[in-house]
Amino acid sequence: MSATPDRSPASAQSNPKGEGSPMNTPRSPLLPLPWMLHLTVLAIALAYPFVFPSSFMLNFGVLALFYAFIGQSWNISGGFAGQLSFGHVAFFGAGAYAATIAQMRFGISPWLGLPIAAMAGALVGGIIGVLSFRAGLKGSYFALITLAFAEVLRIVSNSVTITGGGLGMLIPMKPGAANLQFVERSGFYFLILVLVAISIALAEWLRRSKFGAQLAAIRENEDAAKALGINVFREKVKVMLLSGAIGGVGGCFFAQYFLYIDPLIAFGVDKSVEMLLVSMIGGAGTVYGPMVGALLLALVSDGTRALTQIQGLSLVLYGALLVIIIAYLPNGLIDLFARIKARFSRGRH
Amino acid sequence: MDSTIIASAAINGLLLGGIYTLVACGLTLIYGVLHIINFAHGSMLMLAMFGVYYLLTLLGIDPYLSMFIMVPAMFLFGYLLYKGLIGRLASGKDENILLVTLGLSILIENLALMFFKGDSRTILVSYSDRMVELGPTLVAMPKLISFAVAMVLCALLGLFMQRTDTGRAIRAVAKERVGARLVGIDVDRIFAISYGIGLATLGAAACLMMPIFYVSPSVGHVFVLVAFTVVVLGGMGSFLGAVVGGLIIGLTESFGGLYLGESLGQIGISVIFILILLFRPSGLFGARQ
């Protein structure tokens, strides 16, 4: 179906400098990232709320980390396993609604909402995965069917009463850490930081583990992976469960932070695109790609909002960036750092 | 339920389907020839609709007459866009092209938001409210016109593909790229022409739609999934499929609204899309794998 018969290997990817190495081993090695890197990033993130205690800067930090988190959800299935999705918001929305419904209709603590959201997201991820992978959908077809699933969920949540329909659900304000509503914004900051740290740990584990290696094999060549004895279907469903769980938790956090969700926020195309963008622009299939992309997204959107009143400018920049990245830096911005580093270390020899 | 209501829903569904058909013809042509899933299709349609809107409001050109401007303009735009941008990236993976067209659609939509602002606009022409009696029901004349013209244009496109040298070359490239290149067809030029024709159909669709629809920077979202559904239902790359699929989807939308209500009624299209992809990805008229 998605045949590209004349894909000549020489022109498969643009390689402006003609340097073979970084392109031939995309998002390559299964080597662990150095501990120093993780510790440095963590130290900076921990210091941030003390250096920038203002409400504006904390909000910026929360949103950047939030996008890093849901971007990682996309990255785990879209980047590490190469299953491009346009409807990742389905997991996010499922988690947001599951936790909020549990809280509003059944009086369950939003702290328990986090695991509930993870399960809801994983469930949706698993169902979409089983159905689509059973039917053998990949590439663009998988991307389109995820979009349709998210759309179905949006319409259903807009039409049934338990979700509050099109009006959405307003979570009553009851400040207090027991209700997952922090009086200080820094409470939300540290919560999302913990979640991001967990997602980074998961991504790092994917880099090192056999599971991650199998996913990389599937991403690069599914038929070859099958020939190697990898149970492609099972591994792909597993990665959807994992990615769905992360997306679901992201939804629960979002609902608690903004105290409101409606069908368009929970299942709209926009968030799917943002999840994809931060991951692709930062570097899909890398541990820190989503964080780099999320930081850039937050900087660009806050920066343009501070400088001008023009609507849509930040996404114009982001859309242009996506095209440029795909053309010249298919492994994302993080690859730029790697290339600069490689050039420096070569220079020293 | 009253048979008049059902007949009226059927007629309105078919009329709606005519427009979907035209939008989907362009999409299926682009897929059939280039194997590109053109995610920017909806935002290109939006752009064309704004073109029609401004031709009327600034220059006073009737939307139906605008077709003589919009069709060549969109063709040229598509041709150049392919030559300048998409074609250069087209040697990469299928997924990359999908992402490039996604990037383009984000770019175009938000540029439109910057320049045209977010509100929905409609146009008013002298024949906007004129009704025609059709069987048991009354239909708005612009809807009838749009259906008829859309069908004629689809037939013309089909004829073009069958009878002209360019059409034959396009079909040759769609079937066998390497062979087409060997017999001396300039494949890259055919790619650009196909993309141009794909967008030209959107130029025509925009002219037919403006008298009955609104335009806003995000109006493309309404049509993206619908157009993909029509194409997948009919079979990727099949013109006959696009026509039949368009009519079926129009009916689905109309009857979904009738039986399930305004909100839940939209679900039919997405469900059809999912079911077709899961159980018969080649569609009604597509070649079996």
Q: What is the pLDDT of residues B150-181, one digit of tens each?
A: 999 999 998 998 899 999 999 888 888 888 88
Using the predicted structure, report yes or no on whether residue A140 has a pLDDT greater than 90: no
Which residue of chain A has the CA closest to B272?
A148
Dist. CA A59–CA A61, nearest whole Å: 5
CB count in 10 Å sphere of residue A106 = 8
- The confidence score (pLDDT) of residue A338 equals 80
**Is pLDDT at B56 greater than 90 in this prediction?**
yes
Nearest CA in chain A to B38: A140
Instruction: State yes or no: pLDDT of A31 exceeds 80.
Output: no
Distance (Å, rounded) from C-alpha A96 to C-alpha A61?
Answer: 21
Contacts of A312 in chain B (CB under 8 A): 109-114, 217
Give domain status of residue A147, yes or no: yes
Tokens for A258, please give them.
């903004």
Whether A141 shows a pLDDT value over 90: the answer reads no
pLDDT digits (tens, 9 = 90+) for A228-287: 999 999 999 999 999 999 999 999 999 999 999 999 999 988 899 999 999 999 999 999
Is pLDDT above 80 for B40?
yes
> What is chain A's Cα-based Rg?
20
Can you list the alpha helix ranges (DSSP code H) found in A259-332?
A: 263-267, 269-282, 289-307, 313-328
| Spacing of C-alpha A109 from chain mean position | 26
- Domain containing residue B27: CATH number: 1.10.3470
Q: What mean pLDDT is predicted for residues B178-192?
A: 88
Beta strands in chain B (DSSP E): 131-134, 137-140
pLDDT of residue B93: 64
Q: Do the Cβ atoms of A135 and B279 come within 8 Å?
A: yes
Which whole number is the average pLDDT over A87-92? Answer: 96
Helix (H) or strand (E) holding B225: helix B219-234
pLDDT at A322 over 90: no
What is residue B278's predicted lDDT score, i.e. its pLDDT? 92
Residue A292 pLDDT greater than 90, yes or no = yes
Total domains, chain A: 1
pLDDT tier at A15, thresholds 50, 70, 90: very low
Q: How far is B97 from chain A (nearest CA, A)?
A: 9
Smallest CA–CA distance, residue A107 to chain B, in Å, is 28
Q: Which residues 207-266 in chain B show a CB within 8 A of chain A? A: 217, 221, 225, 228-229, 232, 236, 261, 263-264, 266
Range of the domain at A247: 28-39+55-267
Are B89 and A14 a contacting pair at CB < 8 A?
yes
CA distance B241 to B243: 5
Task: Output the pLDDT for position B98.
Answer: 80
Residues 6+ positions from A117 with CB-CB distance below 8 Å: A94, A95, A96, A98, A99, A248, A249, A251, A252
Inside any domain, residue A70: yes
Q: Name the pLDDT band for A347 (thresholds 50, 70, 90).
A: low
A288 domain residue, yes or no: no
Question: Out of A3, A5, A140, whose CB is closest to B37?
Answer: A140
Residues A333/A283, Cβ–Cβ less than 8 Å? yes
CB B206 within 8 A of CB B41: no
Determine contact, residues A275/A89, Cβ cutoff 8 Å.
yes
What does each C-alpha distance from A331 to A74, A202, A256, A339, B12 come to in angstroms? Answer: 15, 20, 34, 11, 48
> What does the alpha-carbon distance between residue B100 and residue A46 come to, in Å, rounded to a whole number?
36
Residue B131 contacts A, CB cutoff 8 Å: no
In B, which residues are within 8 Å of A158 by CB distance?
Answer: 263-264
More confident residue, A30 or B13: B13
Task: Tell me which of A151 and A31 has the higher pLDDT.
Answer: A151
Is B285 inside a domain boundary? Answer: no
Assigned domain for A234 exists: yes
Q: Phi and psi of A181, rounded to 5°?
A: -125, 110
How far is the C-alpha of B32 from the C-alpha of A6, rounded, in Å?
15
Q: What pLDDT, on the 0 to 100 scale, is given for residue A2? A: 39
Which of A6, A273, A280 has its CB closest to that of B178?
A6
* pLDDT score of A207 more than 80: yes
What per-residue confidence (pLDDT) applies to A328? 83
Most confident by average pLDDT, A20-34, A201-215, A311-325: A201-215
Q: Taking a C-beta distance cutoff of 8 angstroms, is the pair A227, A237 a contact? A: no
Of the ranges A28-32, A211-215, B107-111, B113-117, which one carries the lowest mean pLDDT score?
A: A28-32
Q: CB within 8 A of A293, min separation 6: which ones?
A: A67, A68, A71, A277, A278, A279, A280, A281, A282, A283, A332, A333
User: Quick check: A17 pLDDT over 50?
Assistant: no
Residue type, A97: Y
Distances (CA, A) of A329 to A220, B190, B239: 18, 28, 37
Range of the domain at B20: 3-279
Q: How far is CA A21 from the centre of its chain?
A: 28
Q: Within 10 Å of residue A261's Cβ, how many Cβ atoms?
A: 27
Confidence check: pLDDT of B213 > 60: yes
Would you state the pLDDT for residue B73? 96
* Residue B286 belongs to some domain of the structure: no
Average pLDDT of the segment spanning B233-244: 87
pLDDT above 90: percentage of residues in chain B? 40
Q: Output the pLDDT for position B91.
A: 62
Residue B228 domain flag: yes
Of B89 and B121, which is predicted with more confidence?
B121
pLDDT of amino acid A293: 93
Whether residue A3 lies inside any domain: the answer is: no
Compute the Cα dihedral for B94, A15, B103, A276 and give only its sign.
positive
Residue of B nearest to A151 (CA): B270
Give the model's pLDDT for residue A259: 93
Query: What's the pLDDT band for B90 if we cut at 50, 70, 90?
Result: low
Q: Which residues between 3 and 42 in chain B have a beta carbon less than 8 angstroms from any beta carbon of chain A?
A: 35, 37
Contact present, A154 and B221 (Cβ < 8 Å): no
Tell me whether residue B40 is in a domain: yes
The residues, ordered by sequence, that sit 6+ positions from A339 with a Cβ below 8 Å of its Cβ are A22
Does any domain span residue B103?
yes
With bands split at pLDDT 50, 70 and 90, how would you rate the model's confidence at B48?
very high
Give A284: exposed, middle or buried? Use CB within 10 Å, 0-12, 13-18, 19+: buried
Q: Please compute Rg for chain B using Cα positions.
A: 19
Hey, is B120 helix, strand or coil? coil
Reduced to 3 states (helix: H, G, I; strand: E, B; else coil), residue A26 is coil
Domains: count for chain B:
1
What ipTM score was computed for the predicted complex, to two decimals?
Answer: 0.88
Strand, coil or helix: B110: helix
Give every CB contact of residue B90 below 8 A, 6+ residues apart in sequence.
B34, B36, B97, B191
Tokens of B176: 């066998």
CB contact under 8 A, B177 and A6: yes
- Determine the 3-state secondary structure of A184 from DSSP: coil
Q: Which of B34, B41, B94, B253 to mutate to test the interface with A (most CBs of A within 10 A)?
A: B94
